[in-house]
Amino acid sequence: MNRRRLIILSFSLICLVLIIGGFLYWYSEQLAEQKLQDYIKRLEDLGFTTEEHSLADFHADDVVRAPFFGDFRSYAKQQGINHIYFDRKIHALYFLNPITGDGVEANVFYYK
Q: What does the pLDDT look like over 12-55, one tens digit per residue? A: 999 999 999 999 999 999 999 999 999 999 999 999 999 999 99
Report the amino acid identity of residue 90: I
From edge to edge, which strands make up the β-sheet containing 83-87?
49-52, 83-87, 92-98, 104-110, 62-65
pLDDT tens digit string along 69-92? 999 999 999 989 999 999 999 999
Task: Dihedral sign for Cα 39, 44, 48, 53, please.
Answer: positive
Cα(52)–Cα(105) distance, integer angstroms: 18
| Beta carbons within 10 angstroms of residue 25's beta carbon | 10
How far is it, in rounded angstroms, from Cα 61 to Cα 91?
20
Please check the confidence at residue 1 and state whether its pLDDT lies above 70.
Answer: no
Measured in degrees and rounded to the nearest 5, phi and psi for residue 87 equal -125, 105
